[in-house]
A and B are shown apart, each in its own frame.
Chain A
Amino acid sequence: MIAAHVVGALAFLVLRGAPARWVGAFLALIAGVFAILSSLRVLLSGISLAFAVSLSLPALALTFKLDPLGAVFLLLIGAVTIPVALFSIGYTAGHGAGGSAGMAGFMLHLFLLSMSLVVLAANVFTFLFFWETMSLASYFLVISENQDGETLSAGRWYAGMAHVSFGLIASALLIAALDTEAMGFDAIRNLAPAPELKSTIFILAFLGFGSKAGLVPLHVWLPKAHPAAPSHVSALMSGVMVKMGVYGIVRVGLDLLHGGPPWWGGLILTIGAASALIGVLYALMEQDLKRLLAYSTVENVGIVLMGVGLGFLFKSYNLLSLASLAMVAGFYHSLNHGLFKGLLFLGAGAVAQATGTRDMEKMGGLIRRMPQTASFFLVGSAAISALPPLNGFASEWMIFQSLLAGVRVPHPFTAALMAVAVGVLALTGGLAAACFVKAFGISFLAIPRSERAEQAHEAGGTMRAGMLILSSACVLLGVLPIAVTSLLSHSVDHLPGFAQVVPEPRPGAAEWGFGLKMQVPGSLSTISPAMLALILVTIMTAVLIGIRLLRVNRALRLGETWGCGRVVQTARMEYTSTAFAEPLRRVFGALFRPAQDVMIDFHPESKYFVQSIQYRRVIRTWFEEFLYEPLFRGIQGFAGVGRWIQSGSVHWYIAYVFIVLLTLLLIARWM
């Protein structure tokens, strides 16, 4: 019913021209509010909402059901939609009001709608239908901003990968639903497929959803497609759409298949950890601000899946309360990531619009020209670097604690694996901090590196409002984690097999008011971000007062930056983003295998006078080079054979049809 309202409200965007931006954004806003309200209702009450649009064929009916698991992700969609809608009003103003802008607006709504309905879908057909709509809509959004070669190539990569993943998901779900009449999720849930079949379904689904979530090595499309899209769409794609992959993995793995053997969880955990580390390492090397954020999405999805993988693992050892904790940690981080990554992409969009570039080496000094955007971006950077008391810290802390609890798994190897996973998580956290010091420091601080950056001006009011909402949410969710985790734990309780979890050992209110308490059998750890924030603020105030009261010299004089007495300071003397990442590039040189060219032009008369030095360094994207390129070559070779078959002659085609029919009959007979 509420969702129906959303549907109706969204549909008529297409009609208008100039005021369409406002109307469209307003409607998206309403939709977001309703999404949040309905998901909160489901999460609080635990009662699912269901409705259906029936067609004659039961398998092709559109049935919807909002259960607590879906509600978590609907909450995420709603929470990111609202600020993004606000932001888009100002952001798309520069895009003109032509047909393509209207088309982009329509696609945006279609995209939002289909994402919500993917989460609501209650049978295979509905799910696949809206999944494909989501992919197509986002594909059009990716190529909507400009149509240069890079964007189109990004679009092609995206479309290709999206369809490979769709194929995998479709086959997984269809195999799962083979024995049911209406292919409803409820019916699938009641099946008990053979273990081998279950694992096949899971692997197919994991690969399919994992590609959507941007897991290594299926992530290659993500750092191409996300930056190419308009920034508010990037925010949605990175903040929300990749989580649909997470949703899919949980929905199929834990809900429909009731979990599986321990290696499922181990697989998710390992791939998650690998994605986290590789994602952040590539992010660190980027100098394109939006692509940096896209790689960081790979990292964060990896972290989310570490939590989810642990959940699977604990579930298979029947450590239900631990599983519940780990799942909540994963969900919490995916919600948090939606907020801060949304924020960062909006910030990057505002910056890119103001400076006309996404290249950090051409930015700088923006904190003076766009002070508010800079502050919001700083909040996002601190949150994504897991700095307390912001939300990123709270969820990473929970994942860490879940890993700590992992030693209770009655399998020494798995337990020891946890220590390595902790190391990877911590390294990822440290590298993310380095990465975002670079992202914020190089783009916003010091002297502008280009004329455009020098003339940049603050983003419009609606854009800032969007970012304000997200950064407040980052602070709020960080300081009051308990409000969210208790809500999220409802969703886990309703997964099959979790109902018998005793309510006691879950993140609960610590004695310190709004604390976060991780209590697992035999172990107890607590933190209280709210008190922490309070202490920090108190100390800072005390220091300020102390400076005033004591005999401290409060004189302040402006002067040049100290540069050992050099005559002028120019932007070329600043540390660049490449230079900033250089030590880490060397440390991880084995992974990056950078190709390096130094070209020195000497003075014609003496080689001791250098006229110019050119330095070029290329980080190799291994996965593309060694995995995808041979694959493409193989496909192309295969297609070459295929071309021979495609003769264009009707006779031959009839012959093909005949051969196929014959083969099918033979197979049917033989089976």
Chain B
Amino acid sequence: MAGEYSVVSLFSKIWRTGCVTEPLDPHSQRPLEIARQIEAKTKNILGRSLAIREVDAGSCNGCEIEITGLTSPVYDAERFGVHFVASPRHADLLLVTGPVTRNMEVPLRKTWEATPDPKVVVAVGDCAQTCGVFQGSYAIAGGVDKVIPVDVFIPGCPPEPADILLGILRALDRFPSKH
């Protein structure tokens, strides 16, 4: 099996590429600061372990694309002990995007109920706070905080992955201190 998909070429490419994870947001002045802050916070609060359940409550998927960036090799949220899980039962942070549509109102509340305590909610994107361009639509139930208590809003349309990480960091303050 010659060509670019052979075993040898795959691993030689891996070797040549090396680690591509970047410090947070190269344009910002405080990438390392954020990184250190997150590490320190999560270490204190949850032993640097955070499990995120992502809920799309009606978003245009712009925010989802940015959130996916968190798991990419470039942003690699996992290095901070942050990972996404498949069930709210396994999570302690809900990452909600989009204006809450009427159809997603009940599911969102059920997801929140299905997440064990202690937990926090982070609403990602402008829509999650103000419903954005969807404001006033008959299909919209309102912002995320109309349905479940939100700890942190992350503004932006869509917010960058680094901003999302920063928001997650701020949410960590909301965990009960005894934990």
| A557 close to B (CB within 8 Å) | yes
CB of B107 closer than 8 Å to a CB of A: yes
Q: Which of A299-307, A561-569, A617-625 contacts B (4 or more CB under 8 A)?
A: A561-569
The answer, among A555, A557, A559, A565, for a CB contact under 8 Å with B107, is A565
Residues of A within 8 A of B106 (CB): 565, 567
CB distance from B22 to the nearest CB of A (A): 34
Produce 1/0 per residue, B91-124, CB < 8 A to A. Answer: 0000000000000101110110110110000000
Cβ-closest chain A residue relative to B118: A553
Does A451 have its Cβ within 8 Å of any Cβ on chain B? Answer: no
Question: What string of 1s and 0s marks CB contacts (under 8 Å) between A6-37 and chain B?
Answer: 00000000000000000000000000000000
Assess the A559–B113 pair: CB atoms within 8 A.
yes
**A621 nearest CB across to chain B (Å):** 40
List 12 additional contacts besides A560-B114, A567-B107; criterion CB under 8 Å.
A555-B117, A557-B117, A559-B114, A560-B110, A560-B113, A562-B87, A564-B107, A565-B104, A565-B106, A565-B108, A565-B110, A567-B106
Tell me if B114 and A562 are in contact (CB < 8 A): yes
A: number of interface residues (CB 8 Å): 9
- Chain A: which residue is nearest B89 at the CB level? A562
Query: What is the bound-complex CA distance between A235 and B169, given in angstroms?
Result: 63
Bound Cα distance A436, B89 (Å): 28
* A557 contact set on B, CB distance < 8 A: 116-117
Q: Does B58 contact A (CB under 8 A)?
A: no
User: Does B88 count as interface, using CB distance less than 8 angstroms?
Assistant: yes
A469: min CB distance to chain B, Å: 40
Closest 7 A-B residue pairs measured CB to CB? A565-B107, A565-B110, A562-B114, A565-B111, A567-B106, A562-B89, A559-B113
Can you offer 12 A-B residue contacts whose CB atoms are under 8 A? A555-B117, A557-B116, A559-B113, A560-B110, A560-B113, A560-B114, A562-B87, A562-B89, A565-B104, A565-B110, A566-B107, A567-B107
Residue of A nearest to B116 (CB): A557
Number of interface residues of B (CB under 8 A): 13
The residue of chain B having its C-beta at the shortest distance from the C-beta of A561 within the complex is B114
Residues of the B chain whose Cβ atoms lie less than 8 Å from the Cβ of A560: 110, 113-114
Write out the residue numbers on chain A whose beta carbons fall within 8 Å of the beta carbon of B114: 559-560, 562
Complexed CA–CA distance, A566 and B103 (Å): 10
Residues of A within 8 A of B113 (CB): 559-560
Interface hits, A543-563 → B, CB 8 Å: 555, 557, 559-560, 562
Are A562 and B117 in contact (CB-based, < 8 A)?
A: no
Give bound CA distance, A564 to B87, whole Å: 8
Digitize B61-98: 1 where CB-to-A-CB distance is under 8 Å, 0 elsewhere. Answer: 00000000000000000000000000111000000000
Q: Which residue numbers of A lie inside 8 Å of B, CB to CB?
A: 555, 557, 559-560, 562, 564-567
User: Which of B104, B110, B116 has the largest number of chain A CB atoms within 10 A?
Assistant: B110
Give Cα A566 to B107, complex, Å.
6
Complex: A562 Cα to B108 Cα, angstroms:
12
A564 to B117, CA, bound (A): 18
- Pick the contact of B88 from A555, A562, A566 — CB < 8 Å? A562
- Report the Cα distance A565→B104, complex, angstroms: 8
* Residue of A562, A564, A565, A566 ringed by the most chain B CB atoms within 10 A: A565
* Bound complex: CA A567 to CA B109 (Å): 10
Min distance, Cβ B129 to any Cβ of chain A, angstroms: 21
CA distance A555 to B117 in the complex (A): 9
Q: Which residues of B contact A555 (CB under 8 A)?
A: 117
The CA of A225 and the CA of B107, in the complex, are separated in Å by 50
Bound-state CA distance A555–B116 (Å) is: 10
Interface centre among A562, A564, A566 (most CB of B within 10 A): A562
Q: Which residues of A contact B87 (CB under 8 A)?
A: 562
Q: List the A side residues contacting B88 at CB < 8 Å.
A: 562
Q: How far is the CA of A564 from the CA of B88 in the complex (A)?
A: 9
A565-B106 Cα distance, complex, nearest whole Å: 7
A606 to chain B, nearest CB (A): 22
Contacts of A564 in B (CB 8 A): 107
B57 CB to nearest A CB, Å: 10
**Which residue of chain B has the shortest Cβ distance to A566 in the bound complex?**
B107
- Bound complex: CA of A264 vs CA of B114, how far in Å? 62
CB A228 to nearest CB in B, in angstroms, measures 44
Task: Please name all residues of chain A whose beta carbon is closer than 8 Å to the beta carbon of B116 when the two chains form the complex.
Answer: 557
Q: Which residue of A lies closest to B111 (CB)?
A: A565
Residues of B within 8 A of A567 (CB): 106-107
A555 to chain B: closest residue by CB: B117
Question: Which residue of chain A has the shortest Cβ distance to B55 in the bound complex?
Answer: A565
Instruction: Please report the C-alpha to C-alpha distance between residue A564 and residue B53 in the assembled complex, in whole angstroms.
Output: 11
Distance of A557 Cα from B114 Cα, bound (Å): 10
Residues of A within 8 A of B111 (CB): 565
- A557 to B88: give the CA distance in the assembly, Å: 14
Contacts of B104 in A (CB 8 A): 565
Q: How far is the CA of A630 from the CA of B175 in the complex (A)?
A: 74
Bound-state Cα–Cα, A564 to B111, Å: 7
Q: How far is the CB of A566 from chain B (nearest CB, A)?
A: 7
Residues of chain A within 8 A (CB-CB) of B107 are 564-567
**Closest residue of chain B to A564, judged by CB?**
B107
A566–B114 Cα gap in the complex (Å)?
12
Compute how far the CA of A442 lies from the CA of B73 in the bound complex, rounded to whole angstroms.
Answer: 43
**CB-CB nearest in chain A for B110:** A565
In the bound assembly, the distance between CA atoms of A555 and B87 in angstroms comes to 19
**Closest-CB distance, B38 to chain A (whole angstroms):** 24
Q: How many angstroms between the C-alpha atoms of A559 and B117 in the bound complex?
A: 12
Give the chain B neighbours of A565 by CB distance below 8 A: 104, 106-108, 110-111
A557 to B107, CA, bound (A): 19
- Which partner residue on chain B sits nearest A556 by CB separation? B116
- Quote the shortest CB–CB distance from B179 to chain A (angstroms): 9
Interchain CA distance A244-B83 in the complex, whole Å: 61
Closest chain B residue to A563 by CB distance?
A: B110
A302 to chain B, nearest CB (A): 41
The distance from the CB of B7 to the nearest CB of chain A, in whole angstroms, is 30
Considering the chains assembled together, what is the distance between the CA atoms of A98 and B110 in angstroms?
Answer: 56
Distance in angstroms from B95 CB to nearest chain A CB is 15
Q: Taking the nearest CB of chain B, how far is it from the CB of A567, in angstroms?
A: 6
Nearest B-chain residue to A565, judged by Cβ:
B107
- A79 and B108 CA atoms in complex are apart in Å by 57
Which residues of B in the span 43-68 have a Cβ within 8 Å of any Cβ on A?
A: none
Q: Report the Cα distance A1→B88, complex, angstroms.
A: 70
**Closest CB in chain A relative to B124 CB, distance in Å:** 18
Nearest-neighbour CB distance to chain A for B45, whole angstroms, equals: 15
Contacts of A562 in B (CB 8 A): 87-89, 114
Residue of A nearest to B178 (CB): A551
**A566–B117 Cα gap in the complex (Å)?**
21
In the complex, A567 Cα to B110 Cα: how many Å?
8
- What is the CA–CA distance of A452 and B114 in the complex, to the nearest angstrom? 31
Q: How far is the CA of A565 from the CA of B87 in the complex (A)?
A: 11
Q: Give A559 to B119 CA distance when docked, in angstroms.
A: 16
- A601: min CB distance to chain B, Å: 27
With the chains together, A145 CA to B47 CA distance in Å?
Answer: 64
**Smallest Cβ distance from B160 to chain A, in angstroms?**
28
- A550 shortest CB reach to chain B, Å: 14
* Chain B nearest CB, measured from A643 CB (Å): 69
